[in-house]
Structure 1
Amino acid sequence: MTDTSTLPRGEGRSSTPGRRRARPPQKASGLPAWSIPYVLLIPGLLVIAALLLYPLVQMVIIAFQKVGLVQISGRRPATWVGFDNFTSILENDIFWSALRNTVVFAVLAVPLTLILGTAVGVLLQKLGRKMSLFVIIGIMFAWAVPPVAQGVIWRWLFDAEAGIINWALNLLPDWLSSLLFGRSDWTGEPWLNDAWSIYMVLIVCVVWAGFPFVAVSVLAGLKGVPAELYEAAKVDGSTPWRTFRKITFPLLKPVFAVLTVLSIIWDFKVFSQLFVLAGTNNREAYNLSMFAVTEAFKAPPKMGSGAAIAVVLTVILLIVTAAYIRQMFKQEEV
């Protein structure tokens, strides 16, 4: 038995056995607890305001002004013209042609990118670890290629004289080429002269560069799906398509929602690839981004009209994105 009478005061004795002594209270920051998260957000909000909000506000302001070469040089201040810039672009036939090209391109490119990316993501889930890593590295090279380089690559592939596509099509048997395409000779085919064929090449270019991001995102979502669900579906004799429709898609719906919104935004404002493939001389191949740039910078420069087109494109994207997100929320509630 230990004699505690000889121990210093406070040692070996405790009025509440089994409990640790309370730590001295730390000095408070002086801010209410509810305000700390908002204070921590201030640096990020300042960066967003400087890089995104300020240019956006300036774009809206310029859309209501007359800004030409005289105003850019500083010899005369910009003058307010109200909705004249919007009226002029809405009365321009090129605007409606560009709007049609933008919408049709997005309607085709977005589903193709999502379908191909989802298929590759599901395939990666079924591959072994080493092979999956090898395929991911390979496809991410395509996603990492800058947009201008993407346009250069596919412009060279579809070149009329030295393009590999015409060479490969000429290797097909005449009967097969005639059966599939209605012609057998592809020598000198000018793919990049007609607006329809330009957008066909552009769709291939954008889908090729965009599906790796979708595939990796879907693969990351699949890693969080419990394997027991797939095992139970397999025991019940479910087909792969039914398993995807009943298990994979409902659980990955938030992932698909984000990917769809991002794809819509990216494909609506495609510019660099189209600029490399078509240039600025073929007005039938304009989309809204190309039309905005040519109005703003091609002689004579009309910054107000270019900004007005950009505002219209931004509003369209906001409406489409809001409608899609609202529809997703309605489906979740159901």
Structure 2
Amino acid sequence: MSAAETTTAKVPPARRDPRPGGESGKPPKGPGRKRSAGQAAVPWALLAPCLLALALVLGYPLVRLVTLSFQKFGQPQLWGFKDPESVGFDNFTKVLGDNEFWTVVVRTVLFAFTAVVLTMVLGMLIALLLQRVSGWVKTLVNIALVASWGMPIVVAITIFKWMFDTDFGVLNWLLSQLPGMDMIGHNWFASGTQGLAVIMLLVVWGAVPFVVITLSAGLTQVPKELEEAARLDGAGAWGVFRHVTLPILKPIIVMLATLSVIWDMGVFPQVFVMRGNHPEPEFQLLTTYSYDKAFVVNDYSQGAAIALLTVLLLLGVIAVYMRQMLKIGEVE
């Protein structure tokens, strides 16, 4: 046998790559590739009508809001006697340089923060309580929660106005039945602190049902085995809640807290209607303050600037929410 033949005989035959695409390992070209691309486009095609509706409903008002905030736009421009004038950042300079605006911002943040804390604490307590009551009691409580949640906001405001009325309020009458208390004729809206506290109770009352129902659903996903193991290790009720229940519910709590902040910072009808469509300065929140600037003072450009600053503030809250959710995803 020759040397060439010997060398040829020793070379093992080439093995075929078992991966799709043969030796190169590349996926085969053909109709299968096109189908996968088409399948990837199906969700976007299904979402297209919704995205178009959102662009029409939210996109145009947002663009118009941004445009107004950089213009001089008042009554003459509204009726067409004058053309809108571009003023750059003048509206934002005036708003940010106004001490009243910063007072309203602080009041709004404190109002939203307190309302969110009360909503989350009460919602969690009620949700935990519902896990320990009998079935028919739980059903009755859920019916009451859904009924209060579905009540129109104007009806709820009317009920609260009657409850806290100076002359005929049932709360003043009930408090006056306590020894040493005379609340007959007490005006809860004589001061901004007490009046905002009443409005905050109304906001919390309307928000608690959603929190309770959501947390109750989350509590059903907490493994009972983990709770039993924690009790066997000597953990009490607070220890089980802190080390077992709370970490599992953390994504839901973060979501609910963020949504509550957004909703509570956007409170408008509760303040506007409760104060007879003319909120006093000590009752002004960012939403009503922007409304007054635009439609009472007829300075639409400053009202738009305040509304845009509110949107930016809420976007900051959403950014914090997204960061927290990403951290939770990384841990999991």
For 1:100, give the aligned amino acid: V
In structure 1, what is the equivalent of residue 294 of structure 2?
Answer: 296
For 1:76, give the aligned amino acid: K
94-103 vs 230-239, which deviates more? 230-239
For 2:117, give the aligned amino acid: P
**Residue pairs, 1:270-281, within 5 angstroms:** 270-279=267-276, 280-281=278-279
The 1:125/1:147 distance shift into structure 2, 3 A limit, reads: same
Supply the distance in 1 between the matched residues of 2:202 and 2:48 (Cα, whole angstroms): 39
Aligned pair 1:212/2:209, yes or no? yes
**Residue pairs, 1:63-142, within 5 angstroms:** 63-142=69-148
TM-score by length of 2: 0.84
Q: CA RMSD in A?
A: 2.2
Supply the distance in 2 between the matched residues of 1:326 and 1:29 (Cα, whole angstroms): 35
CA contact (8 A) 1:192 1:277 kept: no
In structure 1, what is the equivalent of residue 7 of structure 2?
Answer: none
The 1:66/1:321 distance shift into structure 2, 3 A limit, reads: same
In structure 2, what is the equivalent of residue 227 of structure 1?
Answer: 224
Give a deviation string over 1:198-254, Cα, whole Å, max 9, x none: 111111111111111000000111122222222333334421211111111111111
1:42 positional shift: 1.0
CA contact (8 A) 1:293 1:306 kept: yes
Give a deviation string over 1:45-86, Cα, whole Å, max 9, x none: 111111222211211111111222222223333222211211
In structure 1, what is the equivalent of residue 319 of structure 2?
Answer: 322
The 1:328/1:43 distance shift into structure 2, 3 A limit, reads: closer
CA contact (8 A) 1:94 1:283 kept: no
Give a deviation string over 1:268-311, Cα, whole Å, max 9, x none: 1111101122342511210110100111111x411111111111
Q: Secondary structure at the match of 2:131?
A: helix
Supply the distance in 1 between the matched residues of 2:49 and 2:301 (Cα, whole angstroms): 32
1:332 positional shift: 5.9
Supply the distance in 2 between the matched residues of 1:193 and 1:93 (Cα, whole angstroms): 23
In structure 1, which of residues 230, 238, 241 is the aligned counterpart of residue 238 of structure 2? 241
- Structure 2 regions of 5+ residues with no counterpart? 1-30
In structure 2, what is the equivalent of residue 310 of structure 1?
Answer: 307
Percent of aligned pairs with the same residue? Answer: 40
Supply the distance in 1 between the matched residues of 2:40 and 2:316 (Cα, whole angstroms): 34
TM-score by length of 1: 0.83
- Structure 1 regions of 5+ residues with no counterpart? 1-24, 175-183
Supply the distance in 1 between the matched residues of 2:132 and 2:329 (Cα, whole angstroms): 29
Supply the distance in 1 between the matched residues of 2:46 and 2:317 (Cα, whole angstroms): 32
